[in-house]
Homo-oligomer: A and B are copies of this chain.
């Protein structure tokens, strides 16, 4: 079975992308949000869960509504879910074919 899609990983991607879009450094965001730089960095890399309060502080520092962040995360995860679904269908549909593994690899 394909690996589970993790909320914190997509959240980290979205938060990092938004920070970089604004040309903000980790240090600037850290100062603005009053959250340690190392902690923000771990959240952006999907290694730590962000508490709801911390997530709120980061959204405020990025001047981005929490609902927008979550919608982007939802969209990103929907794409990953579709890709995993495709992967499963490929594995099932091609399980008796010699070329299965290569096709699966490119679809996943």
Q: Residues of A at under 8 Å CB distance from B?
A: 4-9, 49, 51-53, 55-56, 65-68, 70-71, 73-75, 77-78, 81
Contacts and interface: CB of A to CB of B under 8 A. Distances in A.
B56 A67 contact: no
Given A49-B49, A53-B6, A77 B70 contact: yes
A7 B52 CA distance: 5
A7 B66 contact: yes
A52 B8 CA distance: 6
Nearest to A73: B70
Given A5-B66, A70-B73, 17 more contacts: A4-B56, A5-B56, A6-B56, A7-B52, A7-B56, A9-B52, A49-B52, A65-B77, A66-B77, A67-B74, A67-B77, A67-B78, A67-B81, A70-B70, A71-B71, A71-B74, A71-B78
A6 B68 CA distance: 14
Nearest to A77: B67
A3 B52 CA distance: 13
A7 B49 CA distance: 12
